[in-house]
């Protein structure tokens, strides 16, 4: 069961991590872009933030899961450290760009506050993880990294919730997106805390 959970976890992280490639190879509006207004899509700063967010967010997803692999840490601690640095640098860019994008999110101010909270929480937990390892406090580093990656994993849970609200509940995009702006990351933190308490 544990191996199955780990496999699904890694599969989803890698799957959503490579998903942004679609935005670079397809010229038409795809994914979440189909719901954006013309005013937003004509904003060049928004486009820069969008590509920075999805690119570095992908790096964070693709490198972050490996930080929890005991085998990688045991066999190659140098690789663990390099991937950890890539992960934290990626969050600095993806989180900052995400904070800008949050201000233009569909669903009004509730969604905008929700996604802004996620971006700020992601940046904060990652900075605290970095500060902990600078002090060689491995336990605190591990705890904050779990919380940080649970927020990175919001990219996955958001894409799992969207079809559920659309197909199962038949809700419109803006209404469902308003709920998902919170549902995609707040429960993740509770799950992260569950694993932290279990490990402790």
The domain that contains 76 carries what CATH number? 1.20.120
- pLDDT, position 166: 83
pLDDT computed for residue 168 by the predictor: 80
**pLDDT value of position 47:** 94
pLDDT of res. 190? 96
Classify burial at 87, counting beta carbons within 10 Å of its beta carbon; exposed 0-12, middle 13-18, buried 19 or more.
buried
Please provide the distance, in angstroms rounded to a whole number, between the alpha carbons at the two ends of the chain: 21
pLDDT for the residue numbered 54:
95
Answer whether 0.85 is exceeded by the pTM: yes
CA 166 vs CA 32, 110, 160: distances in Å: 13, 19, 11
Task: List Cβ neighbours of 62 (8 Å cut-off, separation of 6 or more).
Answer: 13, 14, 17, 18
According to the model, what pLDDT value does residue 128 have? 97
Give every residue of the chain whose pLDDT is below 50, as ranges. Answer: none
pLDDT computed for residue 136 by the predictor: 93
Tell me what pLDDT residue 72 has: 81
Tally of domains in the chain: 1
Q: State which residues form the domain around 58.
A: 2-27+35-199
At 43 the pLDDT is: 92
Q: Helix 108-134 and helix 138-152: axis angle, to 10°? A: 150
């Amino acid at each position: 069961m544990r191996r199955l959970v780990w496999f699904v976890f890694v599969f989803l992280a890698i799957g959503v991590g490579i998903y942004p490639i679609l935005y670079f190879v397809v010229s038409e509006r795809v994914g979440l872009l189909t719901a954006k207004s013309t005013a937003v899509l004509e904003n060049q700063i928004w486009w820069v933030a969008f590509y920075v967010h999805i690119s570095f967010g992908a790096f964070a997803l693709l490198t972050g899961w490996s930080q929890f692999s005991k085998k990688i840490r045991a066999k190659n601690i140098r690789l663990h450290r390099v991937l950890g640095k890539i992960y934290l640098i990626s969050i600095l860019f993806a989180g900052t760009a995400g904070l800008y994008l949050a201000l233009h999110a569909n669903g009004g101010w509730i969604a905008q506050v929700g996604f802004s909270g996620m971006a700020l929480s992601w940046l904060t937990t990652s900075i605290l993880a970095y500060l902990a390892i600078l002090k060689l406090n491995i336990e605190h580093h591990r705890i904050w990294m779990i919380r940080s990656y649970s927020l990175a994993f919001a990219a996955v849970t958001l894409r799992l919730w969207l079809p559920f609200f659309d197909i199962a509940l038949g809700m419109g995009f803006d209404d469902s997106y308003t709920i998902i702006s919170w549902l995609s990351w707040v429960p993740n933190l509770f799950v992260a805390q569950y694993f932290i308490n279990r490990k402790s």
